Amino acid sequence: MNNKGIKGFCKKLYKYRIFLLMLSPAIIYTLVFSYYPMTGIVMAFKKYNYAGGIWGSPWNGLDNFQFFFKSGQAGTVTRNTVLYNLLFIAVNLILQISVAVLLTEIKSKHYRKLTQSIMFLPYFISWVIVGVMAFNILSSDYGFMNRLIESLGGTRISFYTTPNLWPVILTLFNAWKSVGYGSVMYLAAIMGIDTSMYEAAAIDGANVFQRIFKITIPMIMPTTIILLLLSIGGIFKGNFDMFYNLVGTNGLLYGTTDVIDTLTFRALITSNDFGMSAAMGLYQSVLCFITVVIVNKLVGRYDKEYTLF
Amino acid sequence: MMKAKKWAALGLSLALTVSLMTGCGSADNVGVTGSNDTSPVDTQGTEENGGTKDDGMTFNGVDISEHVDLKMYLLGDRAADFDEIYGEINKILEEKLNCSISVDFLSWGEHETKYSMLFSSQEDFDLIFTASSWGHYEQTVSLGGFYPLSQEFIQTYAPDIWDVVPEMAWNQAEIDGQIYMVPNYQNEFGQDVIAVRGDLMEKYEISDIASWEDLTNFYMTIAEQEDGMYASQGGPWYQYFQMEGMNRVGGTPKNGELILFHTQDPGNLEFTYALDWDGFADYCKQVKEMADAGCWSRDILSDKADRQEGFLNGNVASMIWNMGSCRFYGKEANKANPDWNVTICDPVSSQSKQVNSYINNGVAINANSNNKERAMMVLNELYTNQDVNDMTRFGIEGKHWEAVGENQFKQLDQSGYGVDNNCNWGWMNAAIKRTEYIEDRTALDDKFDELDAIWNNNVKTEHIYDGFNFNTANVTTQVAAVEAAIGSYYDPLVNGLVNDVDTSIAELKAALDNAGIQDILAELEAQAAEYVAAKQ
Amino acid sequence: MANRSHIGKVKMGPDRIILNIIAYAFCGFVALVCFIPFLMIVSGSLSSESAIMRNGFSLLPQEFSLEAYKTVFKEPLVVVRAYATTILLTISGTILGLLLQTMTAYVLSRKDFEWRNVFSFFFYFTTLFSGGLVPYYILINSTLNLKNNYLAMLLPLMFSVYNLLIMKSYITALPDSLIEAAKIDGCGEFRTLFKVVIPLIKPALATVGLFIALAYWNDWYNAMLYINKPNMYPLQYFLYQQVNNIEAYKKLIANNVGSAVVSSISLPTQTLKMALTIVVTGPIILLYPFVQKYFVQGITIGAVKG
């Protein structure tokens, strides 16, 4: 249909009128609660003060970005942020899909429901408490891990002064905390698989492993890809709560654990410079945006229906 | 069909519920804290014609015939009897100043975020508590939130405050030539002491900890002789430079720890950049030795436990803190373990004592306030009126506390209000301040008084930089970059947890140079020179 | 779980056995790892503060004490009120939010809506860029004047692009023939949505509904920013206040050099934090089994044939 010009556009408006009606609440909501505040991004280029507010404060070009690059840590924390996110995405993906698949294979309803519910518990424990627990486990004095190591005849490890162990530690904690919540989506996707396919496979003589790898996993690909894309959309954003509560202000570990968000926090905690924090937010957003657009296009080449937009 | 109807019905009832809730929320009806927003004499003022209740009423020559209602923000929680007490205070304010004040609170967990939001969203209020650094003073000034108080303004609207607050306090509050807060007036000392296990001191025949050598000796002894016990909870950097007669320069990065001045020598106007000072290197090497020997845990940088926890548990032999906290926790420890014999020592006894920064508590006026003059007058009452001041500190006389003599008090009922627990520190006034009458005195209290007396007799002569506060306006980028760069190196260095001190110091130096510390130092010199010149 | 009894009893092959072992063991292990810390928190909340300070966490309560819970429930009416607020917010927010998101996702999944990608991007873009807290705060507080209004806690969480896109992917996974069949039957879009699509995506509804509910249940941030009337506090914020106030107050003392203000610090803090966690988590965990009911497979079979 090639209706050119305004007339064509109006025709389309009429054609899609019901759709647009159904979309209107969400559109209004998004305009009010997301796009309108988004204009505040200009703060990244201004020297914000209370009297001027967002719009009246004077412009200062790219000044607000300078502190980040002068700190000498810009490369390190950006690298850390991206690498950790990639690591978390990969580990969580594999773990959560495995859990979802295996859960559905469990015949006993009670066992399944019980384990599934229990796996959800870590979601409710705030990172503040997890931080305290982590300290209890990893402390070099009376920590659980060290007591275990010693009882097995090994020497104590000082976790809080050994930066290279932390990618593993952080990944484990992150996986533990999100396994319940994350696997739910894959579970729901598995539930949506047409069971007639399993029957057909059984008749064809496939064993359970083949069934899982040939049917279940491919059938939840759409969901997986969407979730993957959504995660990649945040690849330059660090989970502040987690890093701050687990690592604390332990400079010895910053080389391998500092992310953009924690560095910004420390740099600006005294001055509370809104312009600079807006600048850092913009830095992260732009990088995320570029990444997501590229990845989305790549996914689109593979299958148009899998793309986010 | 049924399903659709069901959904519609559900949706409708939900919409109803939501609108009910919003109705409940927006109306200021009488809830548990209904009185929070409606002060007792609110209606009276507005219902009278034009609000002129008392024509011709003045204060210090200023016309106050118009009734106003003021709003103040304090930090903390609203105590159970808070409204009762401020009701009484409002009676006095009504009579004397034809106004009333209502108080809103920013709780401890939220003030970090919400303090600045009050200004960003142009909220309507008049007075607000503030403090240097932790109470957002410098931040808010640089963002233009507070109203500058000229000498004339203070003298006109708060003459009693002007009479009582020492010049040094105003100097400290001054940023870029203007004063933005009324600082509190307390002769508290800004130096920490050490609470230490007396039984351990006796065991190793250490009579007193009165010098740096005593301190390090004690630490090493504990580390070497006592298994399973730590000497302290970190490196004593403050004690080191205080012993050398130095102090931090207010307003500089890392809480002032990087740039020091010779506070004990008024003639010496030099600034000492810690990383250029061989004292710093010497200190770092000493603490590395101590850390390696086991004076403190290797986990201290990540440990979120409170300072007193290790001490009270018996895991740590000493605790460095301010006198008040040392006495309090020392008494607690002694009650639980009488054999510990906790006592207080002064490891920097050789130096005379500096009175604490006055801007550690204060009150500021909102730049957007509509009633700045009246707010100042109210502050004048809170600050210098004995009855009002006592009420804000202790509560209602006879119910929460009782007077003991002219200048002492005894607490009667702690549950409703609490002593000095209601963000009243902004108007602490040493001239009229009551001290607590302690009934069950212990040896620790005697030691406390002894030290207090010694210190009061040994007050340091003023150094011109004591009142100096660095203004970061021209070097905000460098300051942020320095704060960002310093984390990886500084804390490990001052706690002795690095592998090689010289290398680490060199790395830190290089990083800070890149971040722009030299620009900060240059700016500091320029500002200091101006400051000194203006004082001549 | 698929009901295969009509196929006839299938003998358990070795692959089935191996899978069972792996499944039971793995899920059990993960569940255990998730459970133990929670158990420690329960035990901690029932221990005495001094025992925790001395010995750290443990699996069983040390020096059994209900002190922490007593502190939490010091004013029981306030707690009940906070519970009520949260429950009301959660229920209404979840239902409204689910409606909104499902309807929007439905439109975005319709292949015959040629602007669906444009709108998807319109929504998605908002997750990438944000103006930060200041403009948002001004919006809610001043522009919309929702300070101390329940809507300030209800609206911000009602619509999440993340949930929207997940819902969209579930609806997209439905066979196209379903929609076509409905259209042939003469259903308008609303009817198609409510009568045809929604019954088929129960797991998705349960999932997204759960996520929305959890977001409401756990939210304290919006209350902190916009509400300062204690009788409007939701549960999480009310509890968060209790803990944070003590924590920050103690930090204040550490900073307030020279001040002798050290009263009332005998309140339990570690145990209090743990008791609060339990109090907040308890009810929602009870909701979960109810939600699991919807994780049922095999609904599509009938739909296509019929």
Beta bridge partners of B104: B73
Range with the poorest average pLDDT among B5-19, B301-315, B482-496:
B5-19
**Interface mutation target, options C27, C33, C225, chain A, most CBs of A under 10 Å:** C27
pLDDT confidence band for B161 (50 / 70 / 90): very high
Q: How confident is the model at residue B39 (pLDDT cuts 50, 70, 90)?
A: very low
In angstroms, the separation between the Cα of residue B58 and the nearest Cα of chain C is: 36
Q: Is the pLDDT of residue C207 over 90?
A: no
End-to-end, the C-alpha distance of chain B in Å comes to 89
| Residue B227 domain boundaries | 193-352+461-535
In whole angstroms, give the CA distance from residue B433 to residue B409. 10
Neighbours of chain C (3+ CB pairs under 8 A): A, B
What's residue C243's pLDDT?
Answer: 74
Q: Confidence band (pLDDT; 50, 70, 90) for A90?
A: very high
B235 and B97 part of one domain: no
Q: What is the rounded CA–CA span in Å between residue A140 and residue B83?
A: 49
Q: For residue C76, what pLDDT is reported?
A: 84
Pairs of residues, one from chain A and one from chain B, whose beta carbons lie less than 8 Å apart: 141
- The mean per-residue pLDDT over the stretch C77-102 comes to 93
Give the C-alpha separation, C22 to C28, whole Å.
10
- Write out pLDDT tens, residues C176-206: 888 888 888 888 888 888 888 888 888 888 8
Structure tokens at B510: 């290089």
Q: Does the pLDDT value for residue B419 go beyond 90? A: no
What is the percent of chain B with per-residue pLDDT over 70, rounded to a whole number?
A: 90
Instruction: Check whether B1 has a pLDDT greater than 60.
Output: no
In this structure, what CATH number is given to the domain that contains residue B387?
A: 3.40.190.10
For residue C72, give every residue at least 6 positions away whose Cβ sits within 8 Å of its Cβ, in sequence order, or none: C79, C239, C242, C272, C275, C276, C279
Averaged pLDDT, B444-463: 85
Contact list in A for residue C288 (CB cut-off 8 A) is: 117, 120
Identity of the residue numbered C68: A
A36-52: average pLDDT: 92
Q: Is B444 contained in some domain?
A: no
**Lateral strand order in the sheet of B408-411:** B401-404, B408-411, B435-436
Residue given tokens 């409703």 in the structure block? B416
Class of domain C69-305: mainly alpha
Q: Is the pLDDT of residue B10 over 60?
A: no
Q: How confident is the model at residue B217 (pLDDT cuts 50, 70, 90)?
A: very high
What whole-number percentage of chain A has pLDDT above 90?
49
CB spacing of B110 vs C138 below 8 angstroms: no
Write the burial class of residue A101 (CB in 10 Å: 0-12 exposed, 13-18 middle, 19+ buried).
Answer: buried
Determine the Cα–Cα distance for residues B383 and B159; give it in Å rounded to an integer. Answer: 11
pLDDT in tens, B344-369: 999 988 888 887 788 888 999 999 99
Tell whether B227 and B344 lie within a shared domain: yes
For residues C10 and C5, the model is more confident at: C10
Regarding whether B465 and B336 lie in a shared domain, the answer is yes
If we measure between CA atoms, which residue out of B234, B305, B250, B274 comes closest to residue B486? B274
Encoded tokens for A277: 């924090």
Residue A283 in this model has a pLDDT that exceeds 90: yes
Per the CB < 8 A criterion, the answer to whether B148 and B444 are in contact is no
| Interface test with chain A among B140, B175, B288, B301, by most A beta carbons within 10 Å | B301
Smallest Cβ–Cβ distance between A119 and the set C34, C165, C297 belongs to C34
Q: Do A199 and C218 touch (CB under 8 A)?
A: no
Distance from C-alpha of C99 to C-alpha of B418, rounded to nearest angstrom? 50
Arithmetic mean of pLDDT, B325-329 = 84
Question: Dihedral of the CA atoms A121, A125, A129, A134 (nearest 10)?
Answer: 40
| Top-confidence residue, C298 or A45 | A45
B9 in reach of chain A (CB within 8 A): no
Closest-CA distance, C125 to chain A, in angstroms, reads 8
Instruction: Give the chain C residue nearest B314 (alpha carbons).
Output: C54
Does any CB of chain C come closer than 8 Å to the CB of residue A221?
no
What residue of C is the nearest CA neighbor of B78?
C230
Chains that touch B (3 or more CB pairs under 8 A): A, C
d(CA A169, nearest CA chain B) in Å? 14
Indicate the pLDDT class of residue A69, thresholds 50, 70 and 90. Answer: very high
How many independent structural domains does chain B possess?
Answer: 2
Residue ranges of chain A assigned to CATH 1.10.3720.10 = 71-306
pLDDT bucket at A142, cuts 50 / 70 / 90? confident
Task: Say whether both B380 and B311 belong to one domain.
Answer: no
Nearest chain A Cα distance for residue C194, angstroms: 12
Residue B59 lies in a domain: yes
Determine the Cα–Cα distance for residues B476 and A64; give it in Å rounded to an integer: 9
Q: For tokens 């519910």, name the residue.
A: A117
C262 inside 8 A of chain B by CB: yes
Tell me the mean pLDDT in the region B476-486: 92
Residues B168 and B200 in one domain: no
Q: Is the pLDDT assigned to residue A15 strictly greater than 60?
A: yes
In a domain, B20, yes or no: no
Identify which of A64, A72, A266 has the shortest CB distance to residue B514: A72
**Per-residue pLDDT at C300:** 41
Q: Are B164 and B431 contacting, i.e. CB atoms less than 8 angstroms apart?
A: yes
Task: Output the pLDDT for position B356.
Answer: 72
pLDDT band of residue C254 (cuts 50, 70, 90) is low
Helices then strands (H, E): number in chain A?
Answer: 18, 0
- Is pLDDT of B443 > 90? no
CA-CA distance, A265 to A258, in Å (whole number)? 11
**What is the residue-wise DSSP string for A14-66?**
HHTHHHHHHHHHHHHHHIIIIIHHHGGGGGGGB---TTTHHHHSPB-TTHHHH
pLDDT of residue A102: 92
Task: State residue B11's pLDDT score.
Answer: 46
Q: What angle do CA A68, A69, A72 make, to 5 degrees?
A: 100
Which residues of chain B lie closer than 8 angstroms to A259, CB-CB?
none
Cross-chain residue pair B324–C258, CB shorter than 8 Å: yes
Specify the pairing of strand B362-365 against strand B174-175. unpaired
Q: Would you place residue A168 in the very low, low, confident or very high pLDDT band (cuts 50, 70, 90)? A: very high
Q: Which of B531, B429, B367 is nearest to B162 (CA)?
A: B429
pLDDT at position B18 over 70:
no
Query: What is residue C278's predicted lDDT score, i.e. its pLDDT?
Result: 87
C122 with A274: Cβ contact below 8 A? no
Asked if residue B409 belongs to a domain, the reply is no
Q: Is B149 on the interface with A (CB under 8 A)?
A: no
| A 162-201 residues inside an 8 A Cβ radius of B | none
Q: With CB atoms and an 8 Å threshold, state whether C151 touches B25.
A: yes
- Residue B249 and residue B200 share a domain: yes
Q: Which residues of C touch A274 (CB under 8 A)?
A: 132, 134
Taking each helix axis from N to C end, the angle separating C14-45 and A166-191, rounded to the nearest 10 degrees, works out to 120
In this predicted structure, the answer to whether residue C285 has a pLDDT above a threshold of 80 is: no
User: C26 contacts in A (CB within 8 Å)?
Assistant: 98-99, 102
Q: Burial code of B164-175, b = ≥16 C-beta within 10 A, e = fewer?
A: bbeeebbbbbbb
Least confident of B46-50, B292-296, B432-436: B46-50
CATH classification for the domain delimited by A71-306, as one of 1.20.120.80, 1.10.3720.10, 3.40.50.1100, 3.30.565.10: 1.10.3720.10
Lowest model confidence (mean pLDDT) among A263-267, B500-504, C12-16, C21-25: C12-16
Pair B297, B163 in one domain: no
In one letter, which amino acid is B535? K
Tokens of B373: 């003059």
Between B189 and B504, residue with greater pLDDT: B504
Q: Do A251 and B511 touch (CB under 8 A)?
A: no
Mean pLDDT of chain A: 90
Asked if C4 reaches chain B (Cβ–Cβ under 8 Å), the answer is: no
Q: Does residue B168 surpass a pLDDT of 80?
A: yes
Is this complex scored with an ipTM above 0.85? yes
Name the nearest CA neighbour of B122 among B374, B372, B366: B366
Q: Which of A49, A71, A131 sits opposite B485 (nearest CB)?
A: A71
All partners of chain A with 3 or more CB pairs under 8 angstroms: B, C
How would residue B38 be classed by pLDDT, with cut points 50, 70 and 90?
Answer: very low
Given a cut of 70, whether residue B533 has pLDDT beyond it is yes
Shared-domain flag, residues B198 and B116 = no
B139 touches chain A (CB under 8 A): yes
> Percent of chain B, pLDDT > 90?
44
- pLDDT score at B308: 81
Q: Which part of chain C is CATH 1.10.3720.10?
A: 69-305
B116 touches chain A (CB under 8 A): yes
CB contact under 8 A, B109 and C240: yes
pLDDT band at C73 (very low <50, low <70, confident <90, very high): confident
Cα separations (Å) of A52 from A47, B122, B144, B145?
A: 9, 11, 9, 11
Q: How many percent of chain C have pLDDT more than 90?
A: 30
**Chosen from B108, B124, B313 to mutate, greatest number of chain C CBs within 10 A:** B108
Q: Is residue B297 in a domain?
A: yes
Confidence check: pLDDT of A208 > 70: yes
From B527, B381, B329, B349, select the one nearest B450 (Cα to Cα). B349
- Reported confidence tier of residue C10, pLDDT bands at 50, 70, 90: low
pLDDT of C262 reads 44
Q: Does some domain include residue B241? A: yes
What is the per-residue pLDDT for A248? 85
Asked if pLDDT for residue B243 goes beyond 70, the answer is: yes
* Chain B residues closer than 8 Å to C246 by CB: 108
Q: What's the whole-number mean pLDDT along residues B218-237? A: 89
Does C256 have pLDDT greater than 60? no
Stretch A286-307: mean pLDDT:
88
pLDDT for residue A287: 95
Q: DSSP label at C139?
A: I
Q: Chain A, 38-57: which have a CB under 8 Å from a chain B CB?
A: 48-53
Q: Does one domain contain both B243 and B283?
A: yes
Kindly report the average pLDDT of chain B as a whole number: 84
B239-246 mean pLDDT:
90
Residue B42, pLDDT > 60, answer no
Asked whether residue B6 carries a pLDDT value surpassing 50, the answer given is: no
The band of B34, judged by pLDDT with boundaries at 50, 70 and 90, is very low
Q: Is C185 exposed, middle or buried (0-12, 13-18, 19+ CB in 10 A)?
A: exposed
Judged against a pLDDT cut of 50, whether residue C258 lies above it is answered with no
pLDDT at B51 over 90: no
